[in-house]
A and B are shown apart, each in its own frame.
Chain A
Amino acid sequence: MKLHDVLSIIDGKAISKNIDLDREVQMGCGSDLMSDVLAFTCEGTLMMTGLTNPQAVRTAELAGIAAIVFVRGKLPPPETVALAEVKGIPLLASKYTMFETCGRLYQAGLPGCGLFEITLRQWHLTFENSAKG
C-alpha cells in the first residue's frame, strides 16, 4: 500500500512537506508505547501513534518504520517535524481515533506485523501449560 492510498483511506493529511507519497508500506502497527513499536514491528511498517514528541521519530528511525501517522488529530511540535525532515521520515495526520485509523487501514488490506516470540513464550507458559494441568 502506498502513502497516498493511506491518506485517502484514513481521509488524512500530510504534515511533512515534499514527501514521497509513492513510498510503500508493508504492514501497520498502532501504539503509544515506543518500546512496543521497537519490539513488535518489522522493517517497512506504518506506525500509528498518539505520541508526538521527537522520540516517535527516533523510534521510527531505529526500527526502520516507513512513515508515521499521528492519530486523534494530534499534531507534532516543530522539533518533531524538524527531526523527521532530517531523518527522511514522512509524517501524516489522521483525525480518527487510533482504533478507527488502524481499522480502516486493516479493512483496506494493510496487514499487522504478525506474532512475535517475545509474546508467545509468556503466552504458552501462562495458558497452554495450565490448560494441560
Chain B
Amino acid sequence: MEKKPIQEVTKLQELTYELTVGHAMSPKVITVSSQDTMAQFREVLRVNRISGTPVVEDGEMVGVVSIEDLIKALATGELNAIVGDKMCQHVETLYADEPLVRAVDKFARFKFGRFPVVDRDGHLVGIITQGNIMHTLLRRLEVDYREEGIHRYRASHIFEDIIADEAALVFGYRIIGRDFDRAGAASGNLKTTLSRLGFNPRIIRRVAIATYEGEINIVVYTNGGEIVAEVRPDRIHIEVLDNGPGIPDVDLAMQPGYSTAPDWVREMGFGAGMGLPNIKACSDQMKLESTVGVGTRLEITIYADETGEHGRREG
C-alpha cells in the first residue's frame, strides 16, 4: 500500500519530461498595451476571468502585469496610471518546445502566476499557468489509464491458445423493444469486445454499423429480440433475430430511402430508409428472411482479412 503513491509521482515526473510546454500552454493569449490604464487592465481581467497578461508595445512584449500590480495600484489610488509604469519589466519566458519539467521548475523558482511562452524566434505563442500544467497532466493520466485498460483486456491471443481445427466465440445480446434510450448499447458492447479481441478497427467499424442498424430495427419495429455474434479469427457472423411483425416486401425494404418508420422514429434521427441498404454496404454477405406475423432473421457476415476498403468509399 505504501508503494502506490510513489509510483504515481514517478509517472507524473515521467510525463513532465515527455510533454512540452507547448502541449500544456493556452494558445490564446490576451495582452494589454503598455499605454492602457490600470483601470482598463482591471476590465480585461474581469471580462476574461484571468489574473495577469503580457504587456505589448509595437508588437513586442515589454513586460507582464498581474492582479498583484492592480491591487498595489488600487491601494495607492493610481488606477489612472498606465500599465507601462506598473508592470513587471523583468519578463521570464518559456520556450514552447521545452519539456514541461522546465515550467514546473520555473514556477517553483519564481513565484509568478504565469509565464509567457515564446517560440525560438522570440514570438509570443501562448501563456502557461500552474492550472494549465495540472490540467494537462491529469488529462494525460486519464488517457494513459484508458489505453492501459484496453491493453489489459486485450485477448487477441485467445485464438492462438485454443487447440482445435475450428474455434469460434459466441456472444449474445438481448434487445428490448421500444426502449430508444438504450438502443445501440448492445452494438457498443460488441464493438468494445471486438476491440479487446484485437480485430482491425476498420472491420470493427463495419460490424458496429451493421449491428447498430439491426439493433435500431429491433427497437423500432418489434417488442424485442436478440443479436448473436459468432466470432472466428477470419470472420464475424452476426444474427439479428426478432419475433416482430415481419417485413411484407423484403425487396422494397432493401431500396435506399424506402421506410415505413413512424414519425417518432424520424425525430430520433432514424427511419430515413437507409438502414438495410447500409447494413448491406457494410457486409460481405447479407441474408434477410422475414415472415409477416412470425419474425425476421437477418444474417450478416464480415470477413476479418479485409484488403483495401471493401469498396465502401469511392476513390
Contact = CB atoms under 8 A, between A and B. Distances in A.
B208 interface: yes
B191 A62 contact: yes
Nearest to B281: A118
B139 A35 contact: no
Contacts of B268: 34, 51, 53, 55
Main secondary structure of the interface of A (DSSP, over half): helix
Given A55-B183, A55-B269, A62-B212, A117 B311 contact: yes
Given A54-B181, A117-B312, A122-B256, A61 B274 contact: no
A116 to B, nearest CB: 6
Given A43-B205, A88-B146, A115-B315, A61 B184 contact: yes
Interface residues of B, number: 39
A116 B314 contact: yes
B265 to A, nearest CB: 10
Contacts of A97: none
Contact of A33 (B146, B212, B269): B269
B4 interface: no
B27 interface: yes
A20 interface: yes
Contacts of A34: 268-270
A113 B143 CA distance: 27
B239 interface: no
A39 B283 CA distance: 12
B233 interface: no
Interface in B118-165: 135, 138-139, 143, 146
